[in-house]
Structures are given as structure tokens and as C-alpha cells.
Structure 1
Amino acid sequence: MSSLQEKLQFSVRLKSALTKANYPISPTYLCNEFNNRYHGQPISVQSANNWILGKAIPNQDKLMILAIWLDVPMQWLRFGEDTPQPKQNSVNPSKSHNNITSEYFEKFLLLSPKKQEIVKLLIDELSQS
């Protein structure tokens, strides 16, 4: 599949996820909501517009934030594999250790830098016991 096709198909999935979540398909809205959740370098309205128009695909860390926010699997959002299924909020005992670790890491990335530091300190303290 060509890079252009991948970008266009990503755009279709992104717009579908926005619509299903009852959010407008608006670069300004997407930019603002994304930047409220992402603690790295903020994106511009132009970047959000490029995602919506199929001119660009965000990198992994940005895809993760989009997937968490829109409640769709990251794999589906990026590659379109399987059908989008809402993530389960409760921990399923049949999940593998890696899936649970990944789930908590995704939640950790959504925390503000100050809260991330608190979690780090707590883990350091608990691991010394």
C-alpha cells in the first residue's frame, strides 16, 4: 500500500472515530482537544488539518493519545486492522501481563508532568521495600 493510501485511510478512520464519539471533524477542535491531553510539543491546527485531510499520520506517541481519547484501539487507528472496539476500563483477569503494563503506561502518559513525577517517586519508594 502506498504512503498516500495509508494517510488517506488513516484520515477516514480518524474522522470515523471522531464522528462516533460525537466530536466535530474540525482541525481547531482536534488541535485543542489533543493538546489538552498531550504533554509533549503541542501540535498546530495545520498538523491536525493534515491528519484530517490524509496528508500526514501522527507518530506513535501522538497516535496513542488519539486512541485513548477516542476510545479506539491504537492498532486500528493506525492500520485499520479489525473493527474498532471500545477499550475496557476494568482490568480483565485474562489479559496478559504485557497488555496490563501497556494499559497503565498509556494512562501514565496522559498524566501531567507533575503527576508523572509523583508516580515515579511512589514507584521508587515502593521498590525499595
Structure 2
Amino acid sequence: MAKGIHAQEALAFAARLKQALEAAGVRPSPAVVASEFNLRYWGKSITAHTARAWLAGVAIPMQDKIRTLSDWLHVNPDELRFGPRTVPALPADADIAQAPLSLQDREMLAQYLALPPARRKTVQEVVAALAVAAAHAPAGRR
């Protein structure tokens, strides 16, 4: 049973790694991944065979290598390793100030808070327009 769970985790990791590579504009090729990874990693370099195992869902890298991958690909290391954290929907009467925030949410808020007031207003208007559009969208398109 444990073997099946590990295999599923490795396949899921491979899918997330490929998605992160593609989002970063990097071809998900073992040779490219190994070469680019080795430029950034401070430890012993990896081979294309190792990168192939990651991409094929045969192996999951150790945490130090996941950290290097996530820094390179600009993704959250925990989400790269384990997948996106699901946050339960808040009840309508919930206090939004008590809502749990993901790392990406916190980073976005820090960037927002660093903006000058005029730029913040623009962001507020965009978010408000998106909220109105989402409220009026058909249920399958939200």
C-alpha cells in the first residue's frame, strides 16, 4: 500500500513540476532541467537521469532540491512538493480578517501594501470589477 501511495505522490509531483516549468517558460526536458537546476544548486549536481525520474513521476527530490526548484521556478516549495493547499470557503457572516492566507496571498498583500495610494486604488477597482463579474457569471464559469 505504501508503495502505491508513494507512486501516486511522485506522479502528482511530476505533474506539478511540469506545470511550474511550463509556466516559467522552461521546456520540461530532463537535459534542460538538469542543466538549469545545476546552475542554481549549491550541492552535488544532478544528472539528466535524475531529472527524468522527477519528470516521469518515479522519484521526488529531497527538500533542499525542492527549495532550489521552487526558487528557480518562482513557486511555493510546499505547493510544489505537496500540491496547493485548499482553504475552506468562508461562511457569509465570517470575519474576513480571520481568514487563513496562503503564502501567495501574503506575498500579494505585501506587494499591494508597498504600492503608492493611487496604485492601490487601481488594484481595488480591478478587484471590485472582478467580484462583480464573478457574481454575474454562470455557475460553471466562476
TM-based fold match above 0.5: yes
Matches within 5 A, 1:33-72: 33-72=36-75
TM-score (norm 1): 0.64
Higher mean displacement: 26-35 or 76-85: 76-85
CA root-mean-square deviation: 2.8
Question: For this pair of structures, how many residues does the alignment match?
Answer: 93
Higher normalized contact order (CA 8 Å, seq sep 6+, divided by chain length): 1
How far 1:82 moved relative to its partner? 2.8
How far 1:2 moved relative to its partner? 0.2
Instruction: Letter of the 2:75 partner, please give it.
Output: V
Instruction: Letter of the 1:30 partner, please give it.
Output: V
Determine which of 81, 85, 92 is the counterpart of 1:82: 85
Asked if structure 2 preserves the Cα contact closer than 8 Å seen for 1:71 and 1:86, the reply is: no
Distance verdict in 2 for CA 1:24–1:46, change over 3 Å:
same
Higher mean displacement: 6-15 or 74-83: 74-83
TM-score (norm 2): 0.59
Deviation beyond 4 Å, 4+ runs, structure 1: 83-89
Q: Matches of 2:76 and 2:44 in 1, distance apart? A: 23
Determine which of 7, 14, 18 is the counterpart of 1:4: 7
Q: Matches of 2:15 and 2:104 in 1, distance apart? A: 16
Stretches of structure 2 lacking an aligned partner (at least 5 in a row): 87-102, 114-142
- 1:14 lines up with 2:17 in the alignment: yes
How far 1:86 moved relative to its partner? 9.2
Structure with bigger gyration radius: 2
Instruction: Letter of the 2:50 partner, please give it.
Output: S
